[in-house]
Amino acid sequence: MEEIINMQTIDQYNKFYGVETLHPLVSVVDFSKAKRQAPGHYLFNLGFYTIFLKELKCGDMRYGRKYYDYQEGTLVCIAPGQVYGFENVKADVQPKALGLLFHPDLIRGTQLGQAIKNYSFFSYESNEALHLSEQEKQIIKECFGKISYELQHAIDKHSKRLITTTIELLLDYCMRFYDRQFITRENENRDILVKFEKLIDEYFQNELAQENGLPTVKYFAGKVFLSPNYFGDLVKKETGKSAKEYIQLKIISIAKDKILESDKTMSQIAYELGFQYPQHFSRLFKKIVGKSPNVYKATYIQ
């Protein structure tokens, strides 16, 4: 059984690495200067947000049960409560990496606190790290530097706003760079979409809907070995629709065929599509098509 180190405060994390705590809710750690523990294997469960910028390959980063595509010049963002760790850490190599830690309490009541849920990359998983160009890496390091400067500065009435707005700026840059990464992986993304389409067809052809109910984004994300958030963002970037909307449109397309090509009742069709209640099927059909299933059938079958 692997031991998981739980840390709920920034100070606990800083002390683990022998770093001075300058602010109870936010810290910038330069791991090349940290008095880290002896090399080994660690798993952490932290109560705050963490962003790691890796500049030198010195070990493998594990996230849950999988491994990050975490090489030189990559960025990883982890939300509170997620398990991660490092393995195969080289004893003779001081890690060249930066870490930004900020507690949820830092951003409560701020614009960033309201927007944090929009940064879905905090829930990305294995092989989904952000790979940075040299220019992008410098931009990220500048943001880290500005936050570090504020932490060295005496706390005043401007400190919290300057720190939180800089973190928000950093996250906005991450959003932009992830958009670029989605574009540069266009061929791989299209392959995933083709597989997604095939998986939806198979779900209904194999009558899984009758056994398991309506298909979910999480189900298909797992089938293509991606986290739900990363998969959802990929589908949105490629199609302009959310993964949930894409699934719903496919369900309605299948429903139209069933309505026009069989004598089954709407309740039977709803059941075959995985709806627990026929009225839920009718409500979704009308929302997307603009008319109820019965009216749609009457329009085409005279």
Tokens, residue 165 = 């707005």
Percent of the chain with pLDDT over 70: 86
Q: Residue 81: helix, strand or coil by DSSP? A: coil
Tell whether the torsion through CA atoms of 129, 130, 134 and 136 is positive or negative: negative
* AA identity, residue 55: E
Residue spans of the domains in the chain: they are 5-184, 188-300
How far is it, in rounded angstroms, from Cα 12 to Cα 19? 10
Kindly state the helix (H) or strand (E) to which residue 83 belongs, with its residue range. Answer: strand 83-87
Rg (CA), the chain: 24
DSSP 179-230: HHHHHHTHHHHHHHHHHHHHHHHHHHHTTHHHHH-S--HHHHHHHTT--HHH
pLDDT digits (tens, 9 = 90+) for 167-225: 999 999 999 998 888 877 777 778 888 889 899 999 999 989 988 999 999 999 999 88
DSSP 36-67: PPPSS-EEEEESSEEEEEE-S--SEEEETTEE
Question: Starting from the edge strand earliest in sequence, which strands make up the sheet with 97-102, in order?
Answer: 26-30, 97-102, 49-54, 74-78, 130-131
- On the 0-12 / 13-18 / 19+ scale of CB atoms within 10 A, 97 is buried
- Angle made by CA atoms 56, 36, 173, in degrees to the nearest 5: 45
Domain 5-184 bears CATH identifier 3.30.1330.10: no
Contact 18, 35 (CB under 8 A): yes
* AA identity, residue 249: L
pLDDT confidence band for 161 (50 / 70 / 90): very high
Predicted pLDDT at 162: 95
Predicted pLDDT at 47: 92
Contact 25, 10 (CB under 8 A): yes
Instruction: Indicate whether this model's pTM tops 0.85.
Output: no
How far is it, in rounded angstroms, from Cα 219 to Cα 125? 15
How far is it, in rounded angstroms, from Cα 101 to Cα 278? 48
- Return all residues near 132 (Cβ < 8 A) that are at least 6 apart: 53, 73, 74, 75, 140, 177
pLDDT confidence band for 245 (50 / 70 / 90): very high
154 secondary structure, DSSP code: P
Could you count the other beta carbons within 10 Å of the beta carbon of residue 287? Answer: 10
Predicted pLDDT at 2: 60
How far is it, in rounded angstroms, from Cα 163 to Cα 157? 11
The residue ranking higher by pLDDT, 29 or 191, is: 29
Residue 48, pLDDT > 80, answer: yes
How far is it, in rounded angstroms, from Cα 166 to Cα 132? 19
Class of domain 188-300 (CATH, top level):
mainly alpha
pLDDT digits (tens, 9 = 90+) for 81-128: 887 776 555 555 556 789 999 999 999 989 999 999 889 888 776 467
